[in-house]
Structure 1
Amino acid sequence: MRIKALVVGLFLAATTGSACAAGPYLGVSGGVSIFHDADLKVSGTSGTATTDYNSGYGFGANAGYNFDPVRLEFEFGYRKADVDHFSGPGGSLSVDDTNVKVMSYLVNGYYDIKTGTIFTPYVGAGLGVLDGELQVQGTKYDDTVFGYQVAVGTTIAVDQHIALDFSYKFQGAGSDFSKDGVSLSYLNSSFSGGFRYSF
């Protein structure tokens, strides 16, 4: 009987939970950031090297307005990963003290899919600018380019103001980061968790 009562209680909680209120909100998140293999080009040399990364990390903060079911927000993001090795026709070269950092400044739009429960899946996309920096053993190459991202995720309402947020975001640059004859392509996948507070 106790198990049955627990199951019934969980079901009722899932079906009667209230979604976060419409209006302004703030949020923070953090998680694993996976930099996809990137093309590295250096002027004066022939061919293209492939950059392989270790798994990295990222975090973000956002502020927006929930029009219910559409949300619009500004998001700042930070992603970093160490380079594991470069590879090309001549083989591969492992490196130390070499990493890539990307800071993003995006305007996002989301559509919340109402389920009548505490779970609210969503889809979205964003546009803005990306500040990228490649650091190779103390030498830095940085550039600012147009950026975009698409996202899917779900929120879990704790109450009318607080929700947990879990998401996958795919982010890319409209053109290579390029500085002083060095250019690097950029694609990233991030899996993150956080929370959102609605006022």
Structure 2
Amino acid sequence: MKKALLLSMALMVAVMWSAPGFSADKYVSGSMGIVWVDDIEFEDHDTDDSDEGFELGTDSGITLLGAYGCDYGDYRLEAELGYQTNDIASWAEVSSNEKYNDESEDLDEDGNVSVLSLMLNGAYDIDLGNDVEVYPYAGVGVAHITFEDAPLCFEGSSFRNKDVFSLAYQVGAGIAIPVSENIQLDARYRYFVAEGFSMDKPAANGDLSSHSALLGLRVGI
């Protein structure tokens, strides 16, 4: 499945770079913003009791996005490279899908979780007049998730550093406001998900989702 997704991503990128017959306007964009990560959930897949697990809570962090895209008028296609990082703030044991409040603890450590993502996005532009556009968008891709000095713990085990790959998707909406002939101010909301990733030591399945508010520029080239 991962190979098929990567192949389709490569084909879409090839089309974007080599489709002059579609009269697309090329652009690059960059955005920066704040990211909030939902509690990162881990489920033990090395025992018969799949309800056992733990959660990591995080503080708000920063996210950066850069993209190369093709504007076909009403819709756009783009390849996007993203990065987000958050400090880990808390750890909680989970059993039977309920968090043990007495097991939850705030952490005063330097651990963090970061995500490097490569996505292919499609957006539909809606003209509001005066070249102002709003747009919904969606994307699919891959994510590289890194846990650094993180309490990745089940009973009898403790691991601090881990990195995994995961399939990912995102949805969002934004508004683009022209500031010059080839430059637009771009503000957007992004909901990003990397789910069902698997790791060993500890043997766990994990899910990560985040919400971002971003501001940046889109520049025609």
**Which secondary structure state, in structure 1, belongs to the residue aligned with residue 196 of structure 2?**
coil
1:77 is matched with 82
Aligned residue pair count: 179
1:105 is matched with 118
Residue 68 (1) aligns with residue 73 (2): yes
Q: In 2, distance between residues paired with 1:42 and 1:100? A: 19
2:30 is matched with 28
Q: TM-score, normalised by structure 1?
A: 0.83
Instruction: Point out the structure with max Rg over C-alpha.
Output: 1
Q: CA distance change for structure 1 residues 134 and 121 in 2, over 3 Å: closer, same or farther?
A: same
Q: In 2, distance between residues paired with 1:147 and 1:157? A: 31
Residue 165 (1) aligns with residue 186 (2): yes
Determine if contact 1:132/1:177 at 8 Å carries over to the other structure: no
2:197 is matched with 176
Q: In 2, distance between residues paired with 1:44 and 1:178? A: 11
By relative contact order (CA 8 Å, sep 6+), the higher-ranking structure is 1
Q: In 2, distance between residues paired with 1:109 and 1:100? A: 27
Determine if contact 2:125/2:135 at 8 Å carries over to the other structure: yes
Q: CA distance change for structure 1 residues 40 and 98 in 2, over 3 Å: closer, same or farther?
A: farther
Q: In 1, distance between residues paired with 2:64 and 2:90? A: 24
Q: In 2, distance between residues paired with 1:161 and 1:67? A: 15
Q: In 1, distance between residues paired with 2:193 and 2:199? A: 15
Q: CA distance change for structure 1 residues 117 and 41 in 2, over 3 Å: closer, same or farther?
A: same
Deviates more, 1:92-101 or 1:142-151: 92-101
Q: TM-score, normalised by structure 2?
A: 0.75
Residue 198 (1) aligns with residue 220 (2): yes
1:93 is matched with 105
Q: In 2, distance between residues paired with 1:34 and 1:111? A: 25
Q: CA distance change for structure 1 residues 150 and 103 in 2, over 3 Å: closer, same or farther?
A: same
- Alignment RMSD (CA, Å): 2.0
2:15 is matched with none
Letter in 1 for 2:114: K
2:135 is matched with 122
Gaps of 5+ in 1: 1-21
Gaps of 5+ in 2: 1-23, 94-99, 151-158
Q: CA deviation at 1:147?
A: 0.4
Q: In 2, distance between residues paired with 1:179 and 1:194? A: 38
1:186 is matched with 208
**Which secondary structure state, in structure 1, belongs to the residue aligned with residue 181 of structure 2?**
coil
Q: CA deviation at 1:43?
A: 6.0
Q: CA distance change for structure 1 residues 164 and 177 in 2, over 3 Å: closer, same or farther?
A: farther
Q: CA deviation at 1:44?
A: 6.0
Residue 49 (1) aligns with residue 71 (2): no
Determine if contact 1:129/1:146 at 8 Å carries over to the other structure: yes
Identity in percent: 27
